[in-house]
Structure 1
Amino acid sequence: MKKITLIAGARPNFMKIAPIIHAIEEAKQEGKDISYRLVHTGQHYDKKMSGSFFEQLEIPEPDVNLEAGGGSQAEQTAAIMTSFEKELQNNPADLVLVVGDVTSTMSCAIVAQKLHTKVAHVEGGIRSNDWTMPEEINRLVTDSITNYFFTTSEIANENLRRSGVPEKSIFYVGNTMIDTLLKQRPRFRAPSAWKDLNLKEKNYIVMTLHRPANVDEESQLKALLDEIVLHSGDLPLVFPVHPRTAKVLKALNIEHPRLHMIEPLGYLEFNYLVANSKAVITDSGGITEETTVMGIPCMTLRDNTERPETITEGTNELLGTDPKSIKPAMAKLFSGNWKTGGIPHLWDGKTATRIIDKILTFNDL
């Protein structure tokens, strides 16, 4: 019996793990000797992560919530490691599988290796080369102690090779976030804002901003929003606002009849808005992957990205953080000259099955 412990620390992690759970369940039904335990570290408290959230993803609630959230980066890392050490000692596994690049990813990988448990990293090899981002440190540390790397792109494979990872440890499988997107796409549903704002297909822009460089500095956030409003024609701007961003916006007293600041949305509702929008403006990494697969023009307000394939192959453009970059990007969008893009290799909804099929072949677990 191969016993796998799956780690999730924040809402996007569950999107990446859900298809892996489905693939394990399918393998079990086929008589394969495999089981899993789902550990939520509780890194992010999210009031939307109720039972209905897990129902939407069609997965069970976690076997345990370590409730290790809050505090500084160091305090959070320590809390997760302390709690997960007890968890893994009480419930030993053959393999600890971590996803993405949150603090839980790194913390649980360290604990697992110190308890002589092998580690698999889903989304291994992703790099922004920006060491000011905590996620980049998490990626580098995790990948330095990972045994099996499941990657989303040839770029990630090359990053790993350059850092000395042997070819036999790298498995190019695709993107589990896209497994979830394709599975859930028929179930996307309109949020109340669709009717309340009288939105029309391809006739509004979706915005998300949460990175400190964009939202913590009042003058930067104001300059970005002013430029977006000024150059977005007569389109409604729909902005689901993170609570922390909301405080800054309130202090700035920014209001405009086309700028609609709404509450954060669930997965099915948010992606309904994205799928039907004219374009998305964001500083998120995951959203750039989803827009690429859905063929929606995407403008990323960051100076770097750990997902370059969304630019080289997809519909994403990296604008940087200079507000003046917004005008030419909007002109390109409205002239109909935005690139069409394509879907990266293996982003086909079957990634999780490839991961579990591969794990079942490992003889050293």
Structure 2
Amino acid sequence: MSPSAEPDLRHHGDAEVRGDAAALTDLAVNVRTGTPPAWLKAELVASLDGLAAYPDGTAARRAVAARHGLPVARTLLTSGAAEAFVLLARAVRARRPVVVHPQFTEPEAALRDAGHPVERVLLDARDGFRLDPAAVPDDADLVVVGNPTNPTSVLHPADVLARLARPGRTLVVDEAFMDAVPGERESLAGRTDLPGLVVLRSLTKTWGLAGLRIGYLLAEPGTVAELERAQPLWPVSSPALAAATACSGPAALAEAAVAAERTAVDRAHLVARLSAVPGVRVVGPAEAPFVLIRLADAAAVREALRASGFAVRRGDTFPGLGPDWLRLAVRDRETTDRFTAALTEAMGKVAAERAPGCGREPDAAG
């Protein structure tokens, strides 16, 4: 893609491994490896006995509400966090919606599909993709921002995000990866004092449930009721409701906290190894279960890595990035060591092919 081309908002990390998952080490998809755990699989299997009945989300909503210390009326279960973006786009009457980029592209895609003229606030790599609330137009009545942000791995301070809330504005904070942050620091999930706040959560990343589709949102009761009216009947399946209940309990939260600490250690190892590779710039400090890197000829390097058995996420489909960016999921130390060795080799191979006199013309789009 040329720098001036419009990013493909519908491209997601699963496209990098589709059809070749068995042959590739997956650093493109941000789902925690080794999941779902055995106890969660057992909960899902047990729920199958109730498939003859229509789904009843009462218990799951109560569990999610209790998990965040909120009234049930402030919670809404969704078919993955992605459904929440569609509901917001259809139900919220916004004159000037703004999406803060780079971030997950589905919110903008959903808004555009619903006929909204979306404006972008592009954060700057030179500032580490940090958010300045003053960059958001004062009259924006719908603002969408990720925290921690996909793909930059930036964790914005909660007080900075809180400055975006105001009467007459819907502030959507996508916290799909917040449970992978130790202590869930900077989360706004429990806040009830910020007008127009909508917090989105996903259970698919930490618990390996991308195929089940389960997420939820937290908002003012009036907003929840309006979004619920936009949902079809029985939008969340019985197994997904069972997962929401199970993953909101004390034992699951304790397990997720341990996993978040382990991810932080593995991420530090990944960042250290990447930082030792000449020509690689790592965006930091990284706080999510993935990191964003910049390097020359990233598209060619990505293809060389694929040939070596590694799938990584291209960055040029995110508004505000370009062809020199890649996103990498955090994996265990052994996988990281194998990957960084393959990355070094791939970069050397691509550089050699680009060198004058190698028998081919340089890629003008590189």
Larger relative CO (CA 8 A, sep 6+): 1 or 2? 2
Q: Structure 1 length normalisation: TM-score?
A: 0.31
